[in-house]
Amino acid sequence: MSEDLLIKYPNSILTTPCEEFDFKNPPGDPYDLATGLMQAMNQYNAVGIAANQLGIPYRVFAMRGSPENLVCFNPRIVDKSKEVELLEEACLSFPNVNVKIKRPIGIKVRFQTPSGETVTRVFQGLTARVFQHELDHLDGILFFNRAGRYHRDKALKGYYNERRI
């Protein structure tokens, strides 16, 4: 994968909800897709990358996790903690933009593996945050839209000023 494949804002694929990956009639080999996402994540030294960030419109992302890295097909959150934490996030599709976002610190999730097996996991801390960030990509939600107005406006002002240079 080369850098020019990385989709950047304001490309509309980032705000378009992705299609379910159909294991009964797959649009491509799920193992090849998983491998490509992991390679891209490593190439960009990222903690996660969603398929639509590479121009692939399906509900799948790769993420660094504890104790293992994962590729999640058709992911969803089935429960989340009431306790939230405000932390700064960045995104490959928004170079040099960091925004403080409140997210639940714990989540219970379901997703399919590249083999089509459905698994349920509980994530805490950074792993939970990365899962939520990548899931937002698949839902067409821009990460800065999760931020409060002050933090969002501050980050985007810097983004647009830097693009003019």
Q: Report the CATH number at residue 159.
A: 3.90.45.10
pLDDT above 90 coverage of the chain, percent: 78
29 or 164, which is more confident: 29
How many domains, in total, are found in the chain?
Answer: 1
By the 8 A CB rule, do 89 and 99 touch? yes
Which of 57-71, 103-117, 146-160 shows the highest mean pLDDT? 103-117
Predicted local distance difference test score (pLDDT) of residue 164: 58
Range of the domain at 63: 3-164
Of the pLDDT bands very low, low, confident and very high (cuts 50, 70, 90), residue 4 is low
By the 8 A CB rule, do 21 and 73 touch? yes
Q: Which residues contact 67 (CB under 8 A, 6 or more apart)?
A: none
Predicted local distance difference test score (pLDDT) of residue 114: 98
Average pLDDT, the chain: 92
- Residue 110 exposed, middle or buried by CB count within 10 Å (0-12, 13-18, 19+): middle
Predicted local distance difference test score (pLDDT) of residue 158: 67
Catalytic residue among 19, 89, 117, 134: 134
By the 8 A CB rule, do 51 and 43 touch? no
Predicted local distance difference test score (pLDDT) of residue 96: 84
134 is catalytic: yes
21 or 145, which is more confident: 21
Predicted local distance difference test score (pLDDT) of residue 1: 43
